[in-house]
Structure 1
Amino acid sequence: MDLKLAGRVAMITGPAKGMGAAVTKAFAAEGARLSLIGRDVAAIEPVAAEVRQTGGEAIIVPCDLTDAKQCETAAERTKAAYGDRIDILVNVAGGSGPVGKTGVETTPGEFDEIVTLNMNGCFHTMRSVLPTMISQRYGKIVNVGGTFGMRGRAGRMSYSASKWGLRGITKSFALEVGQYNVNVNYVAPGMVDGPRFRDKVCADMAKKLNITVEEAMERHAAEYALRRVTVDADVANACLFLASDVSRQITGADLPVDGGWAAL
């Protein structure tokens, strides 16, 4: 199926590694013109270089997502590079917060840090691109959250709170901008295989249960209907779907990409 994303201008946050890099490459493969947003420009450059080497277009815009003014500047630089348009925003950037700590053990500083990154960052970028999308009467926003924002999780209170909050932001914006032909949706990955999952989440379970990291991974997979852990490409494909006109009649939705856990 042709998703007709060729030529669309897409801002992507957190493109340097993991899900963000997979999303970036997936959109590049569909012919989107990319604006890659993040603080660590050096980490983003290899991904941008790979896009360019395969014939794609990509600019890098340095930006601290927790700074509203920097997000506004990033949107303006994107428009300046690509004919005064922004068609798509994919918010991938985020953090995991404390792993294995109860709510009582979580410090106020730890809570504030992850809520600021996971909620405020998306809020700032959405506010920055929406005037353009409203003016052009076209836009697709995909916020990458997590299934712990759909079901609570012991030991992940601050992360769960931040992703529940992002769902509320997503749904409220969807109601406000739908009249301008702008779709706003939420992709909720489950556990995604990669360094963060193996080295933090599985390592924490392995230590508590006195098992190996591989055994911890198997225990996580056993919780899902499909008995497998999500990979980066699964998340990228969901983002492509919601950023395309194939999903034109879907907005304010939560799309779990978790092998069957949050919704079942």
Structure 2
Amino acid sequence: MNLELENKIVALTGPAKGMGEVITRAFAAQGARLVLLARDTTPVERLAKELRTCGSESFVASCDITDPEAAEAAVQAGIGHYGKAIDVLVNIAGGSGPIGKTGTETTAEEFRQIVDLNMTGCFNTIHAVAPGMIAQKAGRIVNVGGTFGMRGRAGRMAYSASKWGLRGITKSFALELGGHNINVNTVAPGMVDGPRFRDKVCADIAAREGISLEDAAARHAADYALARVSTSADVADACLFLASARARQITGVDLPVDGGWAAL
């Protein structure tokens, strides 16, 4: 299937860590020209250098997405580098906020910080790319949310609130930008297999239940309809699809990538 992403200018936030790196590599493999936005550019520069050796165009811009002026400057730098407006924005950067704290235990500062990163950061980058997309009458915006923003979660109130709010940002922008041929959607990963899942989630279950790490992973997976935990590649595939020409008639949706946890 041709996703028609070759030579598209794709801006990604949080592009070089964990799931973000896998998503970035997936767009590079499709022949997209990348604008990589991150506050810490050291790991991003390493990734960009590697991708360039494989023939992928990658431009790196330092950007604190919670600062609207920084977001605007970074996007304009990417546009200036390629001489063309951004075609696709993928908002991956985000944080987890306090874990295991109830809403009453969460401080106002903790709440503000995660909302600022997970919501305001996405607003700032969309605000920066939208004028160029409107001018060229085409664009795709993919926000990476989370299933805790679809069902809520005890002990994760601040994170859940921020991802729930991101859904509202997505749906409102979808309505406002749709007339300009701009699609805006959310990919909502559930638990993603990786170091945090294995070293934190599974380790906690194993210690609490007196079972092995593999048994803990299997017990966690049993909560899902498909009885397996998602991978970063699963999330990357969803981002590629929603950014592609194949999703031309899809906008304003929340797409869970969780093996059937949030929607069932």
TM-score, normalised via structure 2 length: 0.96
- Runs (4+) of structure 1 exceeding 2 A deviation are 195-219
Give the match for residue 128 of structure 2.
128
Match of 1:43 in 2: 43
Q: How does 1:120-159 map to 2 (within 5 A)?
A: 120-159=120-159
For residues 162 and 179 of structure 2, the distance between their equivalents in structure 1, rounded to whole angstroms, comes to: 27
State the alpha-carbon separation in 1 of the partners of residues 20 and 47 from structure 2.
10
- Give, as a single letter, the amino acid of the residue that structure 1 aligns with 2:58: A
Answer yes or no: is 1:21 the counterpart of 2:21.
yes
Q: What is the 5 A alignment of 1:105-116?
A: 105-116=105-116
Match of 1:88 in 2: 88
Distance in 1 of aligned mates of 2:89 and 2:48: 17
Query: Is 1:190 matched with 2:167?
Result: no
- 1:104 is aligned to 104
Instruction: Tell whether the 8 Å contact from 1:123 to 1:169 is kept in structure 2 after alignment.
Output: yes
Which residue number in structure 1 is paired with residue 253 of structure 2? 253
Residue in 2 that maps onto 1:12: 12
Percent identical pairs in the alignment equals: 64
Q: Mean alpha-carbon deviation: is it higher for 45-54 or for 7-16?
A: 45-54
SS of residue matched to 1:143: strand
Q: CA deviation at 1:20?
A: 0.6
How many residues in Structure 1 have an aligned counterpart in Structure 2?
A: 264
Q: Would the alpha carbon gap of residues 208 and 66 (structure 1) be closer, same or farther in structure 2, given more than 3 Å must change?
A: farther
Q: Which moved more, 1:44-53 or 1:178-187?
A: 44-53
Runs of at least 5 residues in structure 1 that lack an aligned partner in the other structure: none
Q: Could you give the per-residue CA deviations for residues 96-145 of structure 1, whole angstroms, max 9, x where no partner exists? A: 11122222222222111111110011000000000000011000000000
Distance 1:259 1:183, change over 3 A: same
Report the Cα distance in structure 1 between the residues aligned to 2:99 and 2:258, rounded to whole angstroms: 19
Q: Distance in 2 between matches of 1:227 and 1:133?
A: 40
Q: What is the CA–CA distance in structure 1 between the aligned matches of 2:211 and 2:155, rounded to whole Å?
A: 18
* CA distance in 1: counterparts of 2:211 and 2:111, whole angstroms: 29
TM-score, normalised via structure 1 length: 0.96
**Which residue matches 1:239?**
239
Of 52-61 and 41-50, more deviation after overlay is shown by: 41-50
> CA-atom RMSD, angstroms?
1.4
